[in-house]
Amino acid sequence: MKSRKQSEPQKQQKPSVRYKAAAAPRRKIDKYTVKRWIFGSKDAQGAGKLAVIYGLLICIGFVYLYPLLYMIAKSLMQRADLLDSSVNWIPSTLYVKNYVDAFTSMDFVRTLWQSVVVAGLPTLLNMVMCAVIGYGFARYEFPLKKVMLGILIFSFIIPPQITMMPNYLLYNDLHILDSIKAFLLPAFLGQGIKAQLYILIFFQFFRQIPQALIEAAKIDGCGHFKTFFKIAVPSATPAILVVFLFSLVWYWNESYLTQLYVCGVLGDSYWNTLMVALKGFNDSYSQAGGSVTGEAMGSLNEGIKMAATMLSILPVLLLYFVLQKQFVESVDRTGITGE
């Protein structure tokens, strides 16, 4: 009798074959892939291009922010930190008395109010008159128009130092020196600080208004002034904002012409601005230190000077931070970068 083991059909044994896992195909890196990674495509920016852009923005931002950060750091340092070479950016203690002393010596509240008036009123007049002149150049044809535009551009490139003394003699004959009239009268006549640039901004913007819109307003019975105030001015909001900020900053930062025409060379005028007060900060600080009551003011040092400088530019910085978004959008819409 055959054994059970022998009676069972023998299973055919298959030879064992080791199958190697198919290796994933290697991605071939060609010149097109490298170029797309660096420069990008239509759908996405390339990593190399973004690195260059952000690197340039960081470098440019550092150049502009470095003086401001330096000024803030030094203004919060006391004399011991200023003399200590190991203290560079972060003070050992926040020393706010520098701002208190600068605030007192500059008579900040009164000077700030006068700065707003001296810079704000000419800015408003400058904005209105430049808008009217720019609209006239853009929408009307009259003899010698191109010649006047050429004179306008030529007067823009003339340095103000050349016309400074003739203007001083003219204002003296008109008896408007040492008063705010020296800024108001030229602004009313379209001759304010940098008025040529503002006229060109309005001229370029009003040229973009469709002629059909102006003709439709005339058909509805609008005259020249009504068309200007109802059609042109509402559509020129971006240009108005740009001109307002530019003019305000230029009037605010102008110290030499302000002292020459408005504040008086000898400082005997009623008017004063923060920038003019900053120029004579050493003398005003010495006078304030001799007349202050209570706690005596410390001796003048770099920290107090930096605090005074920070107080002088702080209102403009706050205004820019509030209107930053509208300002950037307005600059983009007005096309001022092409001027």
Q: What is the DSSP string of 190-253?
A: T-STTHHHHHHHHHHHHTTS-HHHHHHHHHTT--HHHHIIIIIHHHTHHHHHHHHHHHHHHHHH
pTM: 0.77
Percent of the chain past pLDDT 70, that is, above it, reads: 80
In this prediction, residues 241-247 reach a mean pLDDT of 89
Structure tokens at 318: 């706050």
Determine the average pLDDT of the residues in 286-301: 62
Residue 190 CA to residue 122 CA, distance in Å, equals 10
More confident residue, 20 or 225: 225
**Out of 9-18, 82-91, 238-247, 272-281, least confident range:** 9-18
Supply the CATH classification number for the domain 108-338: 1.10.3720.10
Domain residue spans of the chain: 37-98, 108-338
pLDDT at 232 over 80: yes
How many CB atoms are closer than 10 A to CB 320?
12
Q: How confident is the model at residue 231 (pLDDT cuts 50, 70, 90)?
A: confident
In the structure encoding, which two tokens stand for residue 15, read together? 């030879």
Q: What is the mean pLDDT of residues 201-220?
A: 84
Structure tokens at 226: 């009504």
Cα(77)–Cα(100) distance, rounded to whole angstroms?
13
- Give the SS3 label for residue 1: coil
In contact, 158 and 222? CB cutoff 8 Å: no
Three-point CA angle 184, 312, 200, nearest 5°:
45
Sign of CA dihedral 325, 328, 329, 331: positive
The C-alpha atoms of residue 285 and residue 291 are separated, in whole angstroms, by: 10
